[in-house]
Amino acid sequence: MESASSSLVAQDSFLQRTLGRLSSTQSLKLSAEEADPVAIVALRRYLSEPTDGQNQEQQLDSYDVTITDGVWRAKCFLHPSLNQLVHRNALRTGSDVNIRQCSFVYNERRLGHGFICVEKVECIAEPSAVLPRISDVSSLPLLVKQGMERSADLQGDTPLQVSRKHYLPLWNNDDPEGDMWKNPDGSNIRLSVSKVALLSTLESSFRGSWKPLPILVKIIHKSRLRYYGKFGQRIDYPYQAYFEVADQSGCMSLVLWNELCLEFYQRMTVGSVLYLQNYSLKQSYSNRSRPQMDHHRLRNFSSVEICLNPRNPAAVITVVSQKAVPPQWGLPEAAYRFTSRSELDRLPAGAACDVIGLVTFVGRVERVRSKGNKERFWTYRWVHAVDGTSNQPFILELFSSSQPEIFNQICPMTYLVCTQVRLCQVEDSPPYLTSSCETEIFITGHHKGRPYVSDPRVKSFIQWTKTLKDNMILQKSAVGGHYCYPPPPQRFVQSAADSPGSCSGLTFNRELESLQYREHKTVALQGQIAAVRHLETTCRAPPVPDFSPTACFISTDKRRHESFWFVQVPDDDPPASPSTDRSGSCCVGTIKPGQVLLDDLNQEPVSCFFACNPASDGAVLDFLSGINQQIAIDAAFLPVVCSDDPRAVGRCQDPHDNSMLSCSYIRTGPTRHLRPLVLQSGFLPAEEILATAQELEDKHVVCVLDLCRLDTDEVEVLVNKVYRVTDATAD
């Protein structure tokens, strides 16, 4: 019934038996009370096809899942009723499942195409029992129904639903995904340029009938990818990317459309020279983000933009090797506006700048819902970097920039360059920098050949880093854990545009249930603190892996804890032993200077190997009840008790009486511990704070809570700030 590989597989195969039974049953549906476990080796997302009775409000993603029983692989379609398992990370790459019901689906509009649809599964929480038996998953034969061996969708990197041509990233829409995206090549194309048009002539010729001459330009800015696919849309590759290009006469916007993005987006980098033919011009789209380019000192032609289309007309794009660009072409150099940390406070809000720094803190990757489409997500992480010009670090809010190979690999001790980041002023706290659509990020290993390497400020930074000792930087570095910036304001105003959404006790549970994997949300809840207790945390000695400590979250079946890991350099530099947990937490262990082990299961960084923080002092657990006594919540309050804690940056350090009440309001720990020292073993300041907790009980307060779904049934609930009722107003 099934196609066989060149050497027949003699082993018993659950998948082979299942396909045989599906082929022989008239209903094409199969249920099983008992089933052998299969492992998930790939999970791919794409925009679903419209079906009868489905409208745009019912927009769904579709998922293809590749499974193996250790003998065969099978590429299957995941029934939409199981999408929630993916959203919560219950169904994930590397895990085992039992298939309880499946069917075989033929494509009624295409001959020789069909696939297995997985309709009911039982997720297995334990580590995979199937994968350890397989040395090379890719070498296993692919199970295909007889007569469908030539189906490209079953064999290739394309979705099973034939109207879709490409996959999307699992957790956002901003990153290239799949083998069809062309990587930069090492081609050395040389051109003999005779007659080209200058950008300055394009504006005047836009309205008339004209035959465009080729243009020769250099890329000076590059935006992240924009995916504009919509439910019911029939565009195969709905992608768009903006570039700013320049020649000796000035600069102009260029937009790359649709399948040309797959071929050229990763090859067209800042500093690349393009020879463009068969392009078109259109009036500029005003409602979009643009880079700040005053420092280029070039004339900006903003009324029209260059369009590169795959057809009508089909643009011809030639990426010229930088070695083949003669000086007589007169193309301007890519210019940067590097700003030191000591200069940052003097910039106005919204100003764009470029920064370079040594990474000292990397937050976990989290997701927030897109403002324009609540069913879509942005991925982001917080980073601290220092440049030696100030005691304060750069505080960076980095969103995905269509560079997943860099974004997921940021770690302490790397040189980080961020371009076109925007300044955000914070009242009574240091400013922070956030990504723009034109931001690019680069880390150690990705700087070679970039135009900024010759910038004097970059060279000065490199000289400063040569004076540092790795051990000193590592001891003050941290990875992961809860991090939120800027701090909440001193007064809570309910209707403020940037204030967290208020929710009632009854809607709080719905907020928890709606959270998807790694989604972060901040809510405000009126209530009373019914009880307070100390949650003591301990660290096991390396290299035994364990979930990282000191935070609290709701769990239906177990509890575990996650916070910062502070890097310690081992005395004898033992080799790091790889281990992974299934959620993306940091695990106990050690690293060598500059080494961080990362895994990309489900495209999330997981299992960094660090030593435990000797200053870890536990958490204070608040038992909250809603103002109408309709809900009870466990939430952890993590006071900042050490100046090396990344959360200490920008926090109010005004003197206070070290009581639980003042610590909760001010959001720091005891003032006498806010200095760079190592707390003595066994000395837990949280116990001192707890002794004053009675004054908090039964107080009517407004709690700002940070929520994050860390895994399938585990939602982290942390107290960000507590307001007295007298400090909260309704505008």
Mean pLDDT score, 670-681: 34
CB within 8 Å of 249: residues ≥ 6 apart: 198, 199, 200, 201, 299
Angle at 649 between CA 679 and CA 684, to 5 degrees: 25
**Domain spanning 14-155: which CATH class is it, in words?**
mainly beta
Residue 571 has a pLDDT of 41
3-state secondary structure labels for all residues of 648-674: HCCCCCCCCCCCHHHHHHHCCCCHHHC
SS3 586: coil
Fold match, 14-155 / 199-329: yes
Q: Which fold has domain 492-558+614-729?
A: OB fold (Dihydrolipoamide Acetyltransferase, E2P) (2.40.50)
Q: What element of type H or E holds 522?
A: strand 520-535
Structure tokens that stand for 640 in this block: 């900042």
DSSP string, 55-77: -GGG--EEEEEEEE-SS-EEEEE
Task: Give the mean pLDDT of 244-256.
Answer: 97
What is the mean pLDDT of the segment spanning 96-105? 95
Cα separation, 168 vs 138, whole angstroms: 21
Average predicted confidence (pLDDT) for the chain: 80
pLDDT at 559 over 70: no
Above 50 in pLDDT, residue 113?
Answer: yes
pLDDT band at 540 (very low <50, low <70, confident <90, very high): very low
Q: Does the pLDDT of residue 192 top 80, yes or no?
A: no
* pLDDT reading at 670 higher than 70: no
Bridging pattern class, strands 609-610 and 316-320:
unpaired
CA–CA distances in Å: residue 358 to residues 384, 435, 553, 683, 725: 8, 18, 32, 32, 42
pLDDT tops 50 at residue 567: no
Residue 66's CB is within 10 A of a number of other CB atoms, namely 17
As a CATH number, domain 341-468 is 2.40.50.140
On the question of pLDDT at 261 being above 70, the answer is yes
Residue listed under structure tokens 């994997």: 517
- Provide the pLDDT confidence category of residue 615 given band limits of 50, 70 and 90: very low
Strand 38-47 and strand 441-442: the pairing is: unpaired
Whether the per-residue pLDDT at 286 is higher than 50: the answer is: yes
Q: Is the pLDDT confidence value at 8 over 70?
A: no
> What average pLDDT does this structure show over 34-47?
93
- Average the pLDDT over each of 74-83, 186-195, 265-274 and give the range with the smallest value: 186-195
For residues 672 and 183, which has the higher predicted lDDT (pLDDT)?
183
Instruction: Enumerate the β-bridge partners of residue 700.
Output: 528
- The pLDDT value recorded for residue 687 is 62
Q: Is the pLDDT of residue 686 over 90?
A: no
Q: Is 616 helix (H, G, I), strand (E, B) or coil?
A: coil
Tens digit of pLDDT for each residue in 66-93? Answer: 999 999 999 999 999 999 999 999 999 9
pLDDT at 724: 82
Tens digits of residue pLDDT in 412-430: 999 999 999 999 999 888 9
User: According to the model, what pLDDT value does residue 632 have?
Assistant: 80
Rounded to whole angstroms, the Cα distance separating 567 from 646 reads 13
Instruction: Provide the percentage of residues in the chain whose pLDDT is more than 70.
Output: 75
Backbone angles phi, psi at 695, to 5 degrees: -70, -15
- Is residue 451 helix, strand or coil? helix
207-221, 421-435, 509-523, 642-656: least confidently modelled range:
642-656
Helix/strand/coil percent split, the chain, to 5: 15, 30, 50
Summarised one tens digit per residue, pLDDT across range 433-492 is 999 999 999 999 999 999 999 999 999 999 999 999 988 888 888 898 889 899 888 888
Quote the Cα angle for 205-211-215, to 5°. 75
Q: pLDDT value at position 331?
A: 94
- Under the banding of pLDDT at 50, 70 and 90, the label for residue 661 is low
Give the pTM: 0.85
In angstroms, the CA 462 to CA 460 distance is: 5
Q: Is the model's pLDDT at 606 over the cut of 70?
A: no
The C-alpha atoms of residue 355 and residue 62 are separated, in whole angstroms, by: 39
Is pLDDT at 268 greater than 70 in this prediction? Answer: yes
* Amino acid letter for position 279: Y
Q: Has residue 238 got a pLDDT over 70?
A: yes
* pLDDT at residue 495 in the model: 66
**Residue 64 pLDDT grade (very low, low, confident, very high; cuts 50, 70, 90):** very high
- Confidence check: pLDDT of 271 > 80: yes
Cα 675 versus chain centre, distance: 33
Q: Two tokens at 715?
A: 């939602």
48-52, 370-374, 586-590: range with highest mean pLDDT: 370-374
pLDDT of residue 169: 96
pLDDT the model gives residue 660: 59
What pLDDT score does 324 carry? 82
DSSP 694: G
CA-CA-CA-CA torsion sign (272, 274, 280, 281) = positive
User: Is 71 in contact with 9 (CB distance < 8 Å)?
Assistant: yes
What is the mean pLDDT of the segment spanning 319-343? 91
Confidence at residue 556, expressed as pLDDT on a 0 to 100 scale? 31
Decide which of 648 and 263 is more confident.
263
Distance of alpha carbon 40 from alpha carbon 97, whole angstroms:
8
- The pLDDT > 90 percentage for the chain reads 48
Q: What is the pLDDT of residues 573-605, one digit of tens each?
A: 333 333 333 333 322 222 232 333 333 333 332
Residue 89, burial from CB neighbour count under 10 angstroms (0-12, 13-18, 19+): buried
Comparing 421 with 50, the larger pLDDT belongs to 421
Return the closest-CA partner of residue 178 out of 259, 233, 85, 110.
Answer: 259
Q: Tell me which architecture the domain covering 199-329 has in CATH.
A: Beta Barrel (2.40)
pLDDT of residue 702: 86
Please determine, for residue 310, whether its predicted confidence score (pLDDT) is greater than 90. yes
CA atoms within 13 A on the CB side of 171: 25
pLDDT band of 234, cuts 50, 70, 90: confident
Pairing of strands 478-479, 565-566: antiparallel
Q: Where are the domains of the chain?
A: 14-155, 199-329, 341-468, 492-558+614-729
